[in-house]
Amino acid sequence: QKEVEQNSGPLSVPEGAIASLNCTYSDRVSQSFFWYRQYSGKSPELIMSIYSNGDKEDGRFTAQLNKASQYVSLLIRDSQPSDSATYLCAVIRSTLGRLYFGRGTQLTVWP
Amino acid sequence: DGGITQSPKYLFRKEGQNVTLSCEQNLNHDAMYWYRQDPGQGLRLIYYSQIVNDFQKGDIAEGYSVSREKKESFPLTVTSAQKNPTAFYLCASSPPGLQAEKLFFGSGTQLSVL
């Protein structure tokens, strides 16, 4: 079982819609969760971090964490074509203290 | 401007050749990392270093070597033992303390085999 699983997509949504990206993780005691955005041919950039159950909002982005279900998601409201990228979920396992990445979900927002 | 510089942007390796990817940072970060990314795949950790003159293997260290002689520099050598080296290589660093979870990435090196 992989440490971090993401639905690989691709996910395609129209401009203005809500894009929903999902991620599950295997280590039940993981404490820190991150979403990185990666444009094609570029390096990843951190867009959200979440550490406790519930929702965390930052502009059009909302991260949701459910530790009981070992599930973390990213919602992008009012999606824009500039949001088209691959979104990587990353988790820190408490025992090793380093990041594990999922394989990413490719999102396309069409005008 | 502070940041991480990777060079070269593109690199070609011949059969049996060792090649070295450069990574330099001026962020004064202690920890540095090397990741490999294959198309449609996430990032896999090759090596990481928490402090000068010390480094640890990641998940896919075979066929790679690193050194950490200076805080600013963490070069990666792809040896001839790495039979499938074609990939996008990313160097990253992280600050100390609670911010250690947040990675700052270089712009990457695309390595291809001739």
> How many other CB atoms sit within 10 Å of the CB of residue A79?
21
Residue A73 CA to chain centroid, in angstroms? 6
Which of A45, A92, A104 is the closest to B101 by Cβ? A92
Report phi then psi at A82, rounded to 5: -70, -10
C-alpha span between A100 and B8 (Å, rounded): 26
The answer to whether the CB of B11 falls within 8 A of the CB of B109 is yes
Name A55's bridge partners.
Answer: A64
CB atoms B103 and A46 under 8 Å: yes
How would you write the pLDDT of chain A (111 residues) with one tens digit per residue? 678 999 877 999 999 999 999 999 998 888 889 999 999 989 999 999 999 999 999 999 999 999 999 999 999 999 999 999 999 999 987 655 678 899 999 999 999
Q: With bands split at pLDDT 50, 70 and 90, how would you rate the model's confidence at B113?
A: confident
pLDDT tens per residue, range B54-111: 999 999 999 999 999 999 999 999 999 888 999 999 999 988 776 567 889 999 999 9
Residue B1 has pLDDT above 70, yes or no: no
Cβ distance B90 to A46 less than 8 Å, yes or no, reads no
Going by C-alpha positions, the residue among B113, B110, B114, B81 that lies closest to residue B21 is: B110
Closest Cβ–Cβ partner in A41, A44, A98 for B105: A44
CA distance B24 to A66: 38
Chain A positions touching chain B (beta carbons under 8 Å):
4, 6, 8, 32, 34, 41-46, 49, 88, 92, 97-99, 101-104
d(CA A89, CA A100): 8
Which of B4, B7, B101 to mutate to probe the A interface, most A CBs <10 Å? B101
CB atoms within 10 A of CB B114: 7
Listed residue (A12, A20, A39, A38) closest to A90, CA to CA: A38
